[in-house]
Chain A
Amino acid sequence: MAQTMTQMQSSFAGQSVTRLSVRPRQSAQIARRSTPRAAITLPNPPFELDALEGQGLSKATMEVHWGKHHRTYVDNLNKQIEGKPLADKSLEEIIQATWNNGSPSAEFNNAAQTWNHTFYWESIGPNGGGPPTGAIAQAIDNDLGGYEEFKKSFTQAGATQFGSGWAWLVLDGGKLKVTKTPNAENPLHHGQTPLLTMDVWEHAYYIDVQNRRPDQVNIKSSGRRKLDRCAAWRSLANESQKRLIEAPDWASEKRQAHAIMMAHIPPTVPLPKSFSWVESI
Chain B
Amino acid sequence: MAYSLPKLPYDYSALEPHIDATTMQIHHSKHHQTYVTNVNNAVQKFPELNGLGMEDLNSAVGTSKIPAEIATAVRNSGGGHYNHSFFWKVMGAPGGNNGPSAELKSAIDSSFGSLDELKAKFNAAAAARFGSGWAWLTSQDGKLAISSTPNQDNPQQALAETKGVPLLGLDVWEHAYYLKARLLLSHEPPQVSQSCETSQPFCRDVSQLMIMSL
Residues of A within 8 A of B (CB): 60, 64, 67-69, 71-73, 76, 109, 162-165, 182-184, 201-203, 206-207, 210-211, 277-278, 281
Contact = CB atoms under 8 A, between A and B. Distances in A.
B178 A207 contact: yes
B197 A72 contact: yes
B133 interface: yes
17 contacts: A60-B182, A72-B192, A72-B193, A163-B133, A163-B173, A201-B131, A202-B173, A202-B174, A202-B178, A203-B174, A206-B175, A210-B30, A211-B34, A277-B189, A278-B187, A281-B182, A281-B186
B31 interface: yes
* Consensus secondary structure, chain B interface: helix
Given A64-B182, A68-B185, A162 B174 contact: no
Interface in B155-214: 173-175, 178-179, 182-183, 185-187, 189-190, 192-195, 197-198
A202 B186 contact: no
B132 A202 contact: yes
Interface of B: 26, 30-31, 34, 72, 76, 130-133, 150-152, 173-175, 178-179, 182-183, 185-187, 189-190, 192-195, 197-198
Given A68-B192, A202-B175, A281-B186, 12 more contacts: A60-B182, A68-B190, A163-B132, A163-B151, A183-B130, A184-B131, A201-B195, A206-B175, A206-B179, A210-B30, A211-B175, A278-B189
Nearest to A60: B182
The binding surface of chain A is classed by DSSP as helix
A162 B79 CA distance: 12
Contact of A163 (B131, B183, B185): B131
Nearest to A280: B186
Contacts of A162: 72, 76, 151-152
A67 B193 CA distance: 9
